[in-house]
Copies of this chain bind each other. A is one copy, B any other.
Amino acid sequence: MSTGDSRASDTIDGEAAIIDLLRPLATDPAALGLADDCAALSPRPGMDIVLKTDPIAEGVHFLAGDAPEAIAWKALAVNVSDLAAKAARPLGYLMALSFPAPPRRAWLQDFAAGLKAAQDAFGMTLLGGDTDRRPGPITVSITVLGEAPKGRMVRRATAQPGDVLFVSGSIGDAGLGLQLCQTPRLAEAWGLEAAQAAFLRRRYHRPEPRLALREALRAAAGAAMDVSDGLVKDLGRMAAASHTSAEIRLEDVPLSAPARAVLAVRPELHAGLVAAGDDYEVLAAVPEGKARDFAELAARAGVEVGRIGRMLPDGDGAVSVLDRQGSRLTIERSGWDHF
Residues 207-263 of A at the B interface (beta carbon under 8 Å): 225-226, 241
Say yes or no: is A325 at the interface (Cβ < 8 Å to chain B): no
A36 on interface, CB distance cutoff 8 Å? yes
Q: Does A198 sit at the interface, judged by CB under 8 A? A: no
Please name all residues of chain B whose beta carbon is closer than 8 Å to the beta carbon of A85 when the two chains form the complex.
Answer: 37
Would you call A125 an interface residue if the criterion is a C-beta within 8 Å of the partner chain's C-beta atoms? Answer: no
Binds B, one of A128-136, A174-182, A268-276: A128-136
Q: Is the CB of B35 within 8 A of A98?
A: no
Using Cβ atoms and an 8 Å threshold, which residues of chain B touch A20? none
Q: Which of A315-339 contact B (CB under 8 A)?
A: 337-339
Chain B residue with Cβ nearest A100: B136
User: How far in angstroms is the closest Cβ of chain B from A296?
Assistant: 25
CA distance A1 to B49 in the complex (A): 37
Counting chain A residues whose Cβ lies within 8 A of the other chain, the interface size class is: 35 or more
Given contact pairs A96-B55, A102-B339, A150 touches B38 in the complex (Cβ within 8 A):
no
Q: Are A55 and B339 closer than 8 Å at their CB atoms?
A: no
A206 at the interface (CB under 8 A from B): no
Partner of A132, one of B57, B99, B226: B57
Residues in chain B near residue A48, CB distance under 8 A: 40-43
**Chain B residues in 8 Å Cβ range of A143:** 53, 94, 143
Chain B positions within 8 Å of A132 at CB level: 55, 57, 60, 338-339
- The yes or no answer to A15 lying at the interface (CB within 8 A) is yes
Selecting from A69-77, A151-159, A303-311, the interface stretch reads A151-159
Question: Given A49-B49, A59-B134, 13 more contacts at CB 8 Å?
Answer: A18-B339, A36-B155, A38-B50, A39-B50, A49-B145, A51-B94, A51-B128, A52-B94, A52-B128, A53-B128, A98-B139, A132-B338, A143-B143
Which residues does A use to contact B, with CB under 8 Å?
13-15, 18, 32, 35-43, 45, 47-55, 57, 59-60, 82-83, 85-86, 88, 94-96, 98-99, 102, 127-137, 139, 141, 143, 145-146, 148, 150-151, 153, 155-157, 225-226, 241, 337-339
